[in-house]
Amino acid sequence: MTGMIIEGKTAKWEIVCGLEIHCQIISKSKMFSGASTHYGSDANENVSFIDAGMPGMLPTLNEQCVRQAIKTGLGLNAKINKYSEFARKNYFYADLPQGYQISQFKYPIVGEGFVKIDLEDGSSKNIGIERLHIEQDAGKSIHDISPTKSFIDLNRAGVGLMEIVTKPDFRSPEEAGAFLRELRSIVRYLGTCDGNMDEGSMRCDVNVSVRKVGEEGFRTRNEMKNVNSVKFVMQAIESEARRHVETYENGGTIEQETRQFDPATGKTKVMRKKEFAHDYRYFPEPDLLPLVLDDAMIEEIKAEMVELPDAKKARFVHDLGLTPYDASVLCESRETAEWFEKAAYGHDAKKVANWMMGDFFAMLNEKKITLEESPISPENLGKLVDLITSNVINGKTAKDVFEIMAETGDSPDKIVEERGLKQVTDTAAIEAVIDEVIAANPDNVAAYRGGKVALMGWFVGQVMKASKGKANPGMVNELLKKKLS
């Protein structure tokens, strides 16, 4: 059981949470018009008559958006519905010039599925997917340019979205966080959404309720709209759940409403009472035919699927002997996973993983560079590990060689060769150094022989220093013990 339990005065409570995630579809043009989806254009630069809701304009469905939704559905282990329909969701808002949003309601393009999440304690859990449907995005109202006027930017109006709805399966903030990270890496692997929550291309609505441990059924939920980071989603779940528990424990009731999470206070506050679904007066979109998919198209998309993070993780654990945790860190981004694979196959993969997650990531951070800009190639990291496992250099020298690789981009063999860094594994040579150290420190030798065995570490240090770090530490230990006893 990985759920979070909240202790009340009278009972133990558990969290119930479901997420609705809007993912902006990666495609060159909008869902129902040919206007560009380019992010960062000047305001209202990418607006066709269709996006502006001009009378008499007719939408044309962008096939690329449909393909992206199918691909994502397959990535969510979900049922692809060969028949789906578009529906009008009617509401008035200044940034929605049509007066309605084209969405899907009764018949979404993707049905039930699941996503497997891996938790820190080593357990894993499947989170149910209720559905995925496609719809168009609205424009953006801008209130912070003038104190007296509001402005509208319609560049985003009509951009394709996938709304992914989960079952109320989350029992803790950690589970929701793990799910969002997993979903983000799935859509990034697939190239269907860039997953950037801070740019708004992935937006999350968070539904929360609580119930007594052991209670059947669910209680009334509240929804927090557009929470824009994984951390805030997790905070919003916890603070909202605690508010529910407190309310119930004090004899109060929770009413269904839409709330807003305020990162500054870490608390939620009421935005509006929830409109019921029928207020949108959904009806089938008369300007678009039902969407009917054929098997050939679905098969074609299946054939284009890349290996997803979950399968990659399993392979890293099974074939390369990584721990599930290390595998999930390395698989979070496809680029990282592919870099690791190049470095690891044919070498000691666990050592490569340790170097990559330790010194290598630290080096990228310090230099503020990306993986592609790394001066160290995956092949060279693999070779460095080989030099260690075959005892050509010791661990300490390896750190120095790594530093030089990060500066010069040279191969570790070349560095070791040119700078004479090969480890000394010649018994006679090491013994000679030990003899010198023993001769130079009669007092410590006497103390050691007199029972101060902790001095062993000091002796090892002296010998390593005298060999300029090149002696094999295991051999130094062994030979020292013999000579000192």
- Return residues touching ligand ADP (CB under 6 A): 16-20, 165-168, 207-209, 218-219, 221, 277
Residue 259: CB minimum distance to ligand ADP, A: 13
Residue 109: CB minimum distance to ligand ADP, A: 16
User: Across the strands, what pairs with 16?
Assistant: 209
User: Looking at beta carbons only, is 166 or 328 nearer to ligand ADP?
Assistant: 166
User: Looking at beta carbons only, is 174 or 359 nearer to ligand ADP?
Assistant: 174
User: Looking at beta carbons only, is 130 or 137 nearer to ligand ADP?
Assistant: 130
Phi and psi based region of residue 53 (left: phi greater than 0; alpha: psi -120 to 50; beta: remaining) = left
Residue 99: CB minimum distance to ligand ADP, A: 21
Distance CA 176, CA 235 (A): 11
Residue 17: CB minimum distance to ligand ADP, A: 5
User: Looking at beta carbons only, is 51 or 130 nearer to ligand ADP?
Assistant: 130
User: Looking at beta carbons only, is 130 or 348 nearer to ligand ADP?
Assistant: 130
Comparing every residue's Cβ against ligand ADP, the nearest one is 18
Residue 294: CB minimum distance to ligand ADP, A: 29
Residue 213: CB minimum distance to ligand ADP, A: 15
User: Looking at beta carbons only, is 19 or 102 nearer to ligand ADP?
Assistant: 19
First to last CA, the chain: 55
Residue 84: CB minimum distance to ligand ADP, A: 17
Single-letter amino acid, residue 2? T
Residue 209: CB minimum distance to ligand ADP, A: 3
User: Looking at beta carbons only, is 19 or 401 nearer to ligand ADP?
Assistant: 19
Residue 219: CB minimum distance to ligand ADP, A: 6
User: Looking at beta carbons only, is 100 or 402 nearer to ligand ADP?
Assistant: 100
User: Looking at beta carbons only, is 72 or 209 nearer to ligand ADP?
Assistant: 209
How big is the chain, counted in residues?
485
